[in-house]
Amino acid sequence: MFKKLPGDEAHHLVSTTPDTAVVFRPAVLQTPAILTVVIFVWRLLAGAVRLLWRHPIASAVVAVPGVIWTLYGWRVALAVTTLPVSTLIPWAFFDRASFNHWIGWRLLAWWRLVWVYRGTDNP
């Protein structure tokens, strides 16, 4: 019928003393802030290493323009980035079959690998 909540069980308890309040409190463990920060930084670094290990090409696509921007300036990084994009977009429009064969299906497979099959609930 109705689902019982954890607090609903308190009125079924038997007390020998009248007017005794039953108090349920969770156990609180005081964790030092430095331990929390160390665990957070460790998980952040482990996630970054896992990202680089699982997706090296996608990571390089993001990292290489950033490194070029840092070393040579934003104009060179923009030129290096727009050259492949300006080549891929016309190829996708004018010869869809060969674009899909060489690039499109791989991009779709990677997209599904990341967003469909791995999802956010898997570690």
pLDDT digits (tens, 9 = 90+) for 32-48: 999 999 999 999 999 88
pTM: 0.49
pLDDT digits (tens, 9 = 90+) for 51-81: 888 888 888 888 999 999 999 999 999 998 9
Q: Is residue 75 part of a domain?
A: yes
Q: Is residue 21 part of a domain?
A: no
Q: Is residue 106 part of a domain?
A: yes
Q: Is residue 98 part of a domain?
A: yes
In terms of Cβ atoms closer than 10 Å to its own Cβ (0-12, 13-18, 19+), residue 82 is: exposed
Higher pLDDT, 25 or 99: 99
Give the structural domain span for 94: 32-117
Q: Is residue 20 part of a domain?
A: no
Q: Is residue 18 part of a domain?
A: no
Q: Is residue 23 part of a domain?
A: no
Q: Is residue 39 part of a domain?
A: yes
Please tell me the total count of domains within the chain. 1
pLDDT band at 3 (very low <50, low <70, confident <90, very high): low
Distance from C-alpha of 20 to C-alpha of 14, rounded to nearest angstrom: 10
